[in-house]
Structure 1
Amino acid sequence: MAAEIEVVVAHQERATLRVGEVFLKVDADPARAEVEAAALALAPVPTPEVLWRKPPVLALAALSGQALGRLGEPSTASPQAWAAAGATVRRLHEAPLPPWPGRSPDELATELDDKCAWLVDHGVLPAELVTVNRRIAEAALRPWTPVFVHGDLQAAHVFVEGDEVTGVIDWSEAGRGDALFDLAILTLGEEDRLADVLAGYGRDVDVEVIRAWWSLRSLLAVRWLVEHGFDPAAPGCEIDVLRSRL
């Protein structure tokens, strides 16, 4: 029987299809696709095998195991698996910096102001909710020592089998950035898993900055999600994260 085609995710910017044990990533932005290919080659952590690349398509072998978690759903992964994810993130952060730059705190602050204004002006979120979270987010907008970051390290992008990490997917946002940003995205909506992740990460970090990144990331994401057909108001997702800060 021929393998069926499964649409994993699809929107105006990119799509991912699964055909048997192969994932086909189609990206409309050549620069973003270049970043993903380069990051897969440089990252010192488990990643999918690149089978072939013919822009705009990147073919990757499927990973064993299952996603560490998914935003809005309770994770069934063990504390040890979350700790293993933290240790994997630390290996990435200790690697040499990639040659391309990342966004600065000033650039993020400008984007955040624009997104917050849009959320209020279009009645997507109450002004008080935006104001409180914008104030919390300020703590993340400080100078940081850049490290090699994944840039979109959602729990759904980390695959585990038992208590071991089998691979990390979706590297198109990788670059130089704040280590605490990766830790925040990994635990977004999974606050009770933060201690396990930090135990595996093995370094002292400022938890309040991680909390600030939760607010900042959620404020930045809501508009994109709305405009691309996703629901940030689903239980446990970005808007619930923002409400939990009140």
Structure 2
Amino acid sequence: MRTKTKILLAEDEPSLGQIVKESLETRGFEVVFCKDGKEAEAKYHESSPQLMVLDVMMPKMDGFTLAREIRRHDKDIPIIFLTAKSQTHDVVEGFTLGGNDYLKKPFSMEELIVRIENLLKTEHNNQDETECNIGKYVFNPKNQSLRYMDDESIALTHRESQLLLHLNANRNAVLDRSFILKKLWQNDDFFSGRSMDVFISRLRKKLKKDKSIQIVNIRGYGYKLIC
């Protein structure tokens, strides 16, 4: 069964948000719908989406602030801003904060869907296309998916997929902590290190069905995928 792409949608106008959500779901996407920035930040960590569509003007936390927080520990997830603002400096700010695209209201659903598909296509083209076995799991970096034996595939985020790709490439050897932080997080500071620890914990949970697989913390050096 084909794994659905998960999109996090943050929009404080309930009617518009529901229309966008239902339209995306009819195109085969899985949608996590949030009505303010704080809820969206929490759902991002809980649901591991593969793309985010963020309204700029939201209560509790605006879209720009949310994007800034997300980009502190995730440089790769595609972000599309939705906004009624039309000033050039607003558009510039959105891209400066790490946005990948910017759509002004009112917009057509067809245009939003095309932009989403283009961003996802770009992301997929950057993935290694070869499936590989990790114990009893089949890992597909291109589709960002992990399947245990004959179970349904589970989706990985871009960063989870890239981290697992590097761990597997160094299977049974130590993956240098500083190297992978600079490679995937662009720096190896304390906050990036804590973020990577979270992603390692997520991978452990997703690989837990095969007891022969371990991701071991080699204190002071990095991590080792034992399989």
TM-score normalised by the shorter chain: which range applies? under 0.3
TM-score, structure 2 normalization: 0.28
